[in-house]
Every structure is written in C-alpha cells, then in structure tokens.
Amino acid sequence: MSILDKIVSRKKEWVESQKQLVPLSALQKAEMYQRSPLSLSSKISNGEGSGIIAEFKRKSPSKGNINIKAEVVEVTQGYQQNGASAVSILTDVDFFGGSDQDLITARKQLSIPILRKDFIIDEYQIHEAKAMGADLILLIAACLTPAEVSSYSNLANELGLEVLLELHDDEELEHICNTVQFVGINNRSLKTFDVDVQRSLRMAAAIPSQYIKVAESGIDDPAQVRLFKENGYQAFLIGENFMKNTDPGSALGEFINQIKL
C-alpha cells in the first residue's frame, strides 16, 4: 500500500466520523457558509500580485516535522504582508499536523483567498470547506475518477468555490473539466514522494490555455519560478521552502524580491 493509499483509507474513516459529529445541516448553518468567497482566478488572470500560493504546513509524510510549533495566524499574516496572492492551509490531521480550526482561525485574519489543502474524497468535505471560510479547494486526480472530479468541482462552483485540480502525469489529463479554474502539476509523486521539478515543464503544453497553470512542490529557487513563467505558469504553490524558516513570511518576501531580479 502506497502512502497515498494509506492517507485515502484513513481519510474515508475520518470523513465518516465527522459526518456523525457535525451533520451537513449544521455545516450549512455556519456563519462562514453564508459568505461570498474571494476569487483567486480573477486576481491572477488580471496579472495582479506575485502568483504565489504560500502554504502553511507543519509536517508531511515525506519530510517529517517541518515547523511543528508554527502558529497559523503569525505565519499566514506574514505571508499576506509579504506578498502572497493566496494562502494554502493543510487541514489533514494525521499526516500533516493540520486542522480545520487552522483555516477557520486564519480566515478571520486574512483578506486574501485561502485554499483548503486536503484529500477530498467526499462531497461532505466540500461543504466543510465552505463552512470553514475557504475560497478554493484542491482535488487530487490520483485519488479521484474523472467523473468524481467533474461532480465535486460542479458542487464547489455551485457553492462559490474555485477548484485547483492537481495532476501528476499525462494519464491524469483526462480529469480536466470545464468546472476547474486551476490545473496544477505536482512535482512530487504522491506514491513515492520523489521530486522532479521538470514534471511541470514537461506537462505545461498539455494543459489547455483556458486554465490557470500552477506549478506545485519542490520549488526552492526564484530562478525556477522565472522558468515556469516562461512556460505559461501563472501561479506557484510553495510551502516547505518557507515553512522551514523561523520567519516564513520574511522568507516569502525575500523570495519574491529575488524573482524580480
């Protein structure tokens, strides 16, 4: 069983337990469920901001503890102040040390879009994302069928949420549908966790031009971002490179300054 298989298996158990604790009707009554989400796609399409989606992540299966004591408000406010176009927040508890409360807390402090980063395998989680105050969700092709991506992204759009569809290889291109706004190429394999930053470059031309292209994972050099931009990428999901610093926000600010050189 791959690490991805283990994560998905555990996630199915987690979702079923959450449904018992917090029924859908309760999610729909949440204050944040009534808010109008922010549009990251509009900002990026208009050429506004850095295009960087800065991630809040305490740990991961591949790296272990990254910044286990990090405070979500301090880090995400630092990201916003230093030029992030959006913030990604891990809400997976078991494998990434995140929580729903991290996103809820950050939403009260931030004025930029928030991506709920998790392994979505059930419609219930999309309603959860809306109730937390997320603006967009991640759908991972490696653990979903094309039909599920279409169904889940349709629901997300109905709730006002945008969708980042994450791909890992050419075989997953069939998951792309017209209800996703972003198509991301993850340079890290979710089965082996090996990183190959060339993956984003190889797959760039295969992504139809109407989608915003997102390069994900393994990005630790501003020169990589410049190269990705030359190949049509407009957004960049970066987490570990910032989170391993004592001041992730300042690390982001310096990174953006170097991109401009």
Catalytic, out of 41, 59, 82, 166: 166
| Residues whose CB falls within 8 Å of the CB of residue 40, separated by 6 or more in sequence, listed in order | 53, 85, 86, 113, 115, 135, 136, 162, 181, 182, 235
The helix (H) or strand (E) run that includes residue 222 is helix 222-230
Catalytic, out of 11, 41, 55, 187: 55
Letter for the amino acid at 72? V
157 carries an active-site annotation = no
Which whole-number Å values give the CA distances from 104 to 30, 122, 126, 255, in the listed order?
A: 11, 20, 14, 27
Residue (of 247, 255, 240) closest to 78 by Cα position: 247
Catalytic, out of 186, 187, 189, 200: 186
Catalytic, out of 11, 59, 117, 130: 117
DSSP state of 179: T
CB neighbourhood size of 192 (10 A): 11
Q: Are 161 and 39 in contact (CB under 8 A)?
A: no
16 carries an active-site annotation = no
55 carries an active-site annotation = yes
Tokens 């996703």 label which residue? 180
Catalytic, out of 11, 41, 50, 57: 57
130 carries an active-site annotation = no
Catalytic, out of 67, 217, 240, 241: 217
57 carries an active-site annotation = yes
Catalytic, out of 162, 172, 216, 240: 216
117 carries an active-site annotation = yes
| Residues whose CB falls within 8 Å of the CB of residue 22, separated by 6 or more in sequence, listed in order | none
SS3 135: coil
Q: Are 85 and 182 in contact (CB under 8 A)?
A: no
Catalytic sites, residue numbers: 55, 57, 117, 166, 186, 216-217
